[in-house]
Amino acid sequence: MNVKPLVLAVLIATTLTACGEKDDKKSPSQVLAKVNDSEITVHQLNFVLAQVPNAQPEQKQQVLEQLVDQELLVQKATELKLDREPNVVQAIENAKRQILAQSAAERVIGKPGEPNKTAVDEFYAKNPALFAERKNYEFTTFVIDKTAYNDSLNAALNNATSPMAVKAVLDAAAIKFNTNEATRTAEQLPMPMLVKFAQMNVGDIIAMSEGDKTVLLQLKATQAAPVSAAEAEPMIKRYLANNEAQTQAAQKMKGLRDAAKIQYLQKFASAPAQQLPKQESTAADDSVKAGLKGLK
């Protein structure tokens, strides 16, 4: 198991912020390595290892070696006075602000409580297409320009119950298309559309927008793949906990905004995207797009 470079990148930013500051003298038992005049301590190692539960000795040594390399680069950056360059100073300040904001968010918002069994059972019962009546789906997909999809084409496709028939309709209308085969589980499909997918018969077509394209999904086959309440419970708990966390975060941030004096000296739009009217439709569109990834 390798330690992700991102962890060390954050550490580099933190270390650079402290350049020029004198550390308190450390006891020999805290020092793991010396790099020129600088020391690498057990606290630095443990900070990184917090991302690697139950690290083995080889992994600890790997992290220590990476910390040595990091320290060498930090010393070179100081020698080259990179910590004084405007873009580096800005990057360090931005990293510091992100760390402080995240820490404040964790303190102010806190962690939501675990969903109770009633909420879990209710979610399971309200979403049979995800659980009790879950299916795996096989589609033939046709990707066309959005401008080519209209009421006339939609009517012509009503009688196209096979891929060959769809191709014939598109060819007759001189519409260029790309076709492919795709297999998706219920949870890989956009949740707002899942009931429609569950009601499809073989040969039925659902058309969905993706950017400047329209994707036609013709159902080729389905296989029953139900999930029991016991199997679904951990997934539902995570889903409900995430939703609750987002709701709490929005409420807390609204409280902070309401209590603060905020003045915009320049605005780029009348309102941010998440506050535009028809918010639910926008969220559904995003979910549709997320579900379409990989279908082309």
More confident residue, 287 or 130: 130
Q: What is the mean pLDDT of the chain?
A: 84
26 — pLDDT class (breaks 50, 70, 90):
low
Question: What are the domain boundaries of the chain?
Answer: 5-109, 113-259+279-296
Sheet holding 178-185, edge to edge: 178-185, 135-145, 213-224, 205-210
**Segment 106-128 mean pLDDT:** 90
Residue 204 has pLDDT above 80, yes or no: yes
Residue 164 has pLDDT above 50, yes or no: yes
Residue 12 has pLDDT above 80, yes or no: no
State the Cα–Cα distance between residues 177 and 145, nearest whole angstrom: 8
The tens digit of pLDDT for each residue in 32-56 reads 999 999 999 999 999 999 888 888 9
More confident residue, 2 or 262: 262
Residue 69 has pLDDT above 80, yes or no: yes
Residue 10 has pLDDT above 70, yes or no: no
Residue 136 has pLDDT above 60, yes or no: yes
State the Cα–Cα distance between residues 141 and 292, nearest whole angstrom: 10
State the Cα–Cα distance between residues 51 and 159, nearest whole angstrom: 56
Residue 285 has pLDDT above 50, yes or no: no
**Segment 154-159 mean pLDDT:** 92
Q: What percent of the chain has pLDDT over 70?
A: 81
State the Cα–Cα distance between residues 197 and 168, nearest whole angstrom: 24
pLDDT at position 272 is 66
